Amino acid sequence: MSSSFRLRILTLGKEIYTGNVISVIAPGVDGYFGVLAHHAPLIAALKTGRLSLRDERNVESTYAVTGGFLEVSENAVVVLADAIEPAQESIR
């Protein structure tokens, strides 16, 4: 059984990320939550915070997100973000 899954991060204007990852940590409106391979189906609202992913090479990337939705279905995750950018480029 594969330990990775497909992740797509989208905004209204463009695709930010597409690739296979081994984990995602997202800022849900009820708190941060994690997604691993073969997660149960889920739709969650996102709040402003940090979205982290770990790719198949075990490299972690972090993004600043300002809301949106995350859907888990059939071993794939789609993030529909209101706005998102790499965290190192965000205003702190």
Residue 90 has pLDDT above 50, yes or no: no
Q: In which domain, by residue range, is 77 found? A: 5-89
What is the greatest pairwise CA distance in the chain?
Answer: 40
CATH of the domain at 75: 2.60.15.10
pLDDT band at residue 91 under the 50/70/90 scheme: very low
Q: How many domains does the chain have?
A: 1
H or E segment and range at residue 22:
strand 15-28
Residue 22 has pLDDT above 80, yes or no: yes
Residue 11 has pLDDT above 60, yes or no: yes
92-51-81 Cα angle (round to 5): 95
Q: Could you report the per-residue pLDDT of 50-66, keeping only the tens digit for each?
A: 999 999 999 999 999 99
Phi and psi based region of residue 87 (left: phi greater than 0; alpha: psi -120 to 50; beta: remaining): alpha
